[in-house]
Amino acid sequence: MAALLIGGIIISFLPHGLAWSWLLLIPGIVLTVGYFLFGTLSSASQRMQIGDYEGAEEQLKWTWKPNWMLKMNRGVYHFLLGTIKMQRRQLDAAEVHMQDSLEAGMPSGDYTAQVYLALSNIAASKNKIQPAKNYLKEAKACDITEPQLKDAIKQYEKQFKMIPRGGQRFQDPRQMRRSKRPR
């Protein structure tokens, strides 16, 4: 991208070079505009698919101005960052990025449902059961086409049905005191 722009500028100073410099300048300008509109989302998502979260975060850092990206791409950008933060158990930062992704908008109902499921998971991890259930309802209301996502929502519903009415966490049986019985 930079080589095309620099090469076009250099050629434009040669005799009759201005006419030929456009062959390098136009692709360079198109690639530069594409970079600002789309960012480094595709390379970051490819790295996330193979489990390289550090590499994905490095790719996302190469996005110079996320606010200049297209609105839906900005939503995916924050979703990817939120997913990375969730993997690192930085739940507060993950929640902020997931909320930002909802504000920016997501490209499809499947993406939106994934964001709501992530927010539900974050709220449940913080023992905020009612907000977690509300996020799950929002996820169910999305237009979902992926069968795996529908199954994930069903699994979350099963988990929430197992939570006691008071919204208390389950106690680990190993941590419960044993009552001493008289012999």
Segment 44-50 shows an average pLDDT of 86
Would you tell me the crossing angle of helices 109-125 and 91-104 to the nearest 10 degrees? 150
Question: CA-to-CA distance for 78 and 75, rounded, in angstroms?
Answer: 5
Share of the chain above pLDDT 70, in %: 70
Q: What is the pTM of this model?
A: 0.70
Cα–Cα distance list, 126 to 82, 96, 155, 168 (Å): 16, 14, 19, 11
User: Where do the structural domains in the chain lie, given as residue ranges?
Assistant: 36-107, 108-162
* Residue 27 identity (one-letter amino acid): P
The values of phi and psi at residue 157, to 5°, are -60, -40
Q: Which of 10-24, 64-78, 82-96 has the lowest mean pLDDT?
A: 10-24
Q: What is the DSSP string of 70-93?
A: -HHHHHHHHHHHHHHHHHTT-HHH
- The reported pLDDT for the residue numbered 171 is 41
- Reported as a single tens digit per residue, the pLDDT across 68-79 is 777 788 888 999
pLDDT over threshold 50, residue 58: yes
Q: Which two tokens stand for residue 131?
A: 């907000």
- Reported as a single tens digit per residue, the pLDDT across 146-170 is 999 889 889 888 888 887 665 555 4
Report whether 82 contacts 118 (CB < 8 A): yes
Residue 113 pLDDT grade (very low, low, confident, very high; cuts 50, 70, 90): very high
Report whether 57 contacts 88 (CB < 8 A): no
pLDDT over threshold 60, residue 65: yes
- The reported pLDDT for the residue numbered 35 is 61
The mean of the pLDDT values for the chain is 78
pLDDT over threshold 80, residue 16: no
Segment 101-121 shows an average pLDDT of 90
